[in-house]
Amino acid sequence: MGYVAVTGGEQAIAASLDLNELRRVEAGRSVAVEDILATMPDLVNQVQSEGSLWAPEIAAVAIKQACGSIEEAVFLMRAYRSTLERLYTSRVVDTDGMRAGRRISAAFKDIEGGQILGATRDYSHRLIEFELADETVSDARERAREIRARLSAPADADAAALLDRVPRVLTYLRSIDMVRDWPVDDTEPVDITKTPLSFPAPRSVILQALSRGLTQAVVAIGYAAIRGFGLSHPTVGELRRGTVAIEIDAPGASGGAAAEDAYYLGSIPVTEVESLIVSDEEDGEGGHRSALDVGYGLVMGDDESKAIAMSVLDHSLRADDVRFPTQDQEFVLYHIDGVEATGFISHLKLPHYVTFQSKLDSALRSAAEKGGEADA
């Protein structure tokens, strides 16, 4: 749903825009785009993810223009993306070929290839480091040198090779027929950046909407599904964080061209989660058995909480009933889109003189009628 700014006094609107810009520059300081990219990678990744566009420099400019407001920066990214020409469609990303910098499982202690903790805040004490208030560029460089020195132990050649193609944890569970089997669906995916949402939505639409949804909304509704407002309580079978290659077919090549004919465009960081949820299914002999359902999450960047919540909602939205709002496609998909939600809430600031006057007149008439009845 789109909203157009209300018309009004031209001078007042121009002054309002000037005042808004003055807030950004009145201190006489400016943050370089390079500094935003270097020091706030998680913020840049979130804006790119929710904005449906991988363009780090543009995301950093949007953050600067929006004075750090994530919702405004995402709005700017979506608006910019809508002006771009679609030249190519990339090949399906092969996450089996992810170069993993972090890979863990909450389901198994010992997994093939080993647990790779990587970079994470999970083991920090969440205490504010007040000395950062006085940190200089030279201090940051010195700290980086010290950390690199601690991490410079000789790498195990076999371990380094594993990072290039880490085996999946779920492969073992599938080999013993413990994972619920779903039929392969080769239906052409719907591009939600071109096609409005409609319900019931295919899984391609659900996954796209969840992946680019407002991070806090996806996490909050995923949390609700786990807490009892849904039937999905997952165990993280595998969480992987790393980079994947983006490729397109060579110009002029027919569909299904060989892998060596692909053009490599670059790599982007992603976080992938496969969650396991116990479910009940028919065993093929008229009975039932417990099996493991898989919820899937894949987001751009390093947001593990969002990827886990996405996997929960992927499973939740495949439920056959809507006893809970977290299993209702329309409820979830409409309410996790940050631009949609911000647009609707913001439009409440626009003039509603006629509709409010109608409501006020109705309320006054009702009060007058009740007053007349009391007098009688």
User: Which range, of 168-182, 209-223, 238-252, averages the lowest pLDDT?
Assistant: 168-182
What is the residue whose two structure tokens read 């929710």? 50
In contact, 234 and 226? CB cutoff 8 Å: yes
The reported pTM is: 0.86
Q: What is the pLDDT of residues 178-195, one digit of tens each?
A: 777 777 777 888 888 888
- Smallest CA-to-CA distance from 191 within 175, 168, 207 is with 207
Burial of 157 (0-12, 13-18, 19+ CB in 10 A): exposed
- Is the pLDDT at 350 greater than 80? The verdict is yes
What is residue 2's predicted lDDT score, i.e. its pLDDT?
47
Q: What is the pLDDT of residues 49-86, one digit of tens each?
A: 999 999 999 999 999 999 999 999 999 999 999 999 88
In contact, 311 and 296? CB cutoff 8 Å: yes
- Is the pLDDT at 311 greater than 90? The verdict is yes
Which amino acid, one-letter code, is at 220? A
In contact, 298 and 306? CB cutoff 8 Å: no
- Is the pLDDT at 148 greater than 70? The verdict is yes
Q: How far apart are the first and last CA of the chain?
A: 49
What percent of the chain has pLDDT above 90?
A: 36
| Distance from C-alpha of 310 to C-alpha of 258, rounded to nearest angstrom | 32
Greatest mean pLDDT among 15-29, 166-180, 280-294: 15-29
